[in-house]
Amino acid sequence: MGKRVLVVDDEKLIVKGIRFSLEQDGMEVTCAYDGEEALENAKNTEFDIILLDIMLPKLTGLEVCQQIREFSNVPIVMLTAKDDDMDKIMGLEYGADDYITKPFNILELKARIKAILRRSVIRDSASNAPKTIVNGDLRLDCDSRRVYIAGKAVNLTAKEFDVLELLALNPNKVYSRENLLKLVWGSDYPGDVRTVDVHIRICAYQMGRRLLFPCLTRFGNSPGISRAAEFEPMSG
């Protein structure tokens, strides 16, 4: 059976083009044209990935994403006409795993979808990793993919969890931005290293730099490598 994809956009020509291209690759595509319809589909059907436009009628893509995260960890890629870092950060904070800016190349979109789906299969089939990782007040439950600080749950997106899990499972390794991008997003991911920065910043904001510092220090201090000092929690 092909992978199930939910495509959400109020521009019907865009939806039609995406649907045609994904179906050519053997995927099963369901379409929605407003936020309420998207949320209803997400509740009633188990999808492998959701492509979600930000600017939607009835409910915005951010609102839909946030509500989906209350009952599902399905990968979500935000489609946005805005190329502002704050819009991307907002999407990730609301629970999205990735983003792509319109107008986009359909080949790039398909590459991102396939990379996310491939990593999901690898993650789900992994059986030799510890089920729980504990470091002081920090606890990662790898089965449920949940993070707790002093017993209190912390909301992280699937990709944020992937980054944190990788660092926690490899406590003596130092990773460059390029290493993390390849390991977490895949070697064929068409984005750049700023994606890593955005996810780390949000992790630092959600968890607090003090608790995340043991992981962030593994970025090291070499040229071109992210330093822990770069990822202070955002104010506000």
CATH number, position 44: 3.40.50.2300
Q: Is 236 within a domain?
A: no
Side chain identity, residue 182: K
Are 10 and 117 members of one domain? yes
Q: Is 235 within a domain?
A: no
| CATH code (residue 162) | 1.10.10.10
Which pTM does this prediction carry? 0.60
pLDDT for the residue numbered 153:
84
Last residue of a domain, one of 104, 125, 146: 125
Are 10 and 119 members of one domain? yes
Distance CA 118, CA 185 (A): 10
Q: Is 161 within a domain?
A: yes
Distance CA 47, CA 49 (A): 5
Angle 199-200-202 (CA atoms, 0-180°, nearest 5)? 65
Are 138 and 120 members of one domain? no
Peptide bond before residue 103 is cis, with ω within 30 degrees of 0: yes
Are 28 and 118 members of one domain? yes
Q: What are the helix and strand counts (H, E) for the chain?
A: 9, 9
Distance CA 78, CA 99 (A): 4
Closest listed residue to residue 199, CA positions, set 234, 159, 229, 165: 159
Are 28 and 105 members of one domain? yes
Are 139 and 111 members of one domain? no
pLDDT for the residue numbered 235:
36
pLDDT for the residue numbered 82:
66
Max CA pair span of the chain: 51
Give pLDDT tens digits along the chain (236 positions): 689 999 999 999 999 999 999 999 999 999 999 999 999 999 999 999 999 999 899 999 999 998 998 888 888 999 887 666 677 777 777 888 888 888 888 998 998 888 888 766 555 554 455 578 887 778 888 777 788 888 888 877 777 888 888 887 777 777 788 888 878 877 666 667 778 878 777 777 766 654 454 454 444 443 333 333 333 333 33
Distance CA 109, CA 49 (A): 12
Q: Is 107 within a domain?
A: yes
b/e code 118-130 from CB counts within 10 Å (16+ = b) = ebbeeeeeeeeee
Distance CA 28, CA 165 (A): 30
Last residue of a domain, one of 103, 125, 147: 125
Side chain identity, residue 105: N
Are 117 and 57 members of one domain? yes
pLDDT for the residue numbered 208:
61
Structural domain count, the chain: 2
Q: Is 146 within a domain?
A: yes
Are 61 and 171 members of one domain? no
Are 103 and 140 members of one domain? no
Q: Is 75 within a domain?
A: yes
Q: The domain containing residue 198 runs over which residues?
A: 132-230
Are 11 and 86 members of one domain? yes
Are 84 and 171 members of one domain? no
Distance CA 117, CA 102 (A): 21
Last residue of a domain, one of 71, 98, 125: 125
